[in-house]
Amino acid sequence: MGFTKPYIGNERDAMSHIADNIIRFHVIANSDTIEDQELKLKVKEGLVKELAPHLSIATSITEARDILSSNLNRIEEVAKDIINQNGYDYSVKANLGFKHFPIKVYGDYTFPSGVYEALSISIGEGEGKNWWCVMFPPLCFVDETYCIVNEETEEKLKYVLTEEDLDLLKTNKDNIKIKFKLWEEIKELFNL
């Protein structure tokens, strides 16, 4: 089994433990124009296709980090090629570092907001809306239409996270539904 950092039953510590074993993928568009947003998605799709074979063999966050950090120049080249093929001349910057992310739901799993290690791709000015997912374990490669986590990906989650972490990711979804329901009721009450 992979290295796991022990934590004491506190939910905040558990969320931190989850973040310590996850790498997210973040693509930031040049701007919010329709064209720049479409280009962002093309860059995302191209990089997911490029990185999937490499990351699918990673069995730990350390291996995934090594694969990504040793390929940052290649990642920038692939993104730049996609941008150029689509008629743009934006710069691209790939970075592996830490960022704050909001929650993300994949089927039965809800990843909490917090600071995660992430591969970030900034296109041009990097001032547009962004797209992100969990890159390791490779949840970027699940069927986003149905948000299905397949058996292979679920096994990778089980390999890098504890049973308690997985239970928390599954039960956290109920808390989110309650919070959204409460927000809807508040908006209705105040006609927001």
Q: What is the Cα–Cα distance from 40 to 26, expressed in whole angstroms? A: 10
Would 125 be classed as within a structural domain?
A: yes
Render pLDDT for 87-145 as a digit per residue (tens, 0 to 9): 999 999 999 999 888 877 766 777 777 888 999 999 999 999 887 777 777 666 444 43
Segments forming the whole domain that contains residue 82: 11-176
Indicate the pTM of the whole model.
0.70
68 or 133, which is more confident: 68
**Mean pLDDT, range 176-187, rounded to an integer:** 45
Would 65 be classed as within a structural domain?
A: yes
Would 190 be classed as within a structural domain?
A: no
Render pLDDT for 27-57 as a digit per residue (tens, 0 to 9): 999 999 999 999 999 999 999 889 888 888 8
- Give the model's pLDDT for residue 178: 36
DSSP string, 3-50: ------S-HHHHHHHHHTT-EEEEEE-S-SSHHHHHHHHHHHHHHHHH
Say if residue 153's pLDDT is above 80: no
Q: How many separate domains does the chain show?
A: 1
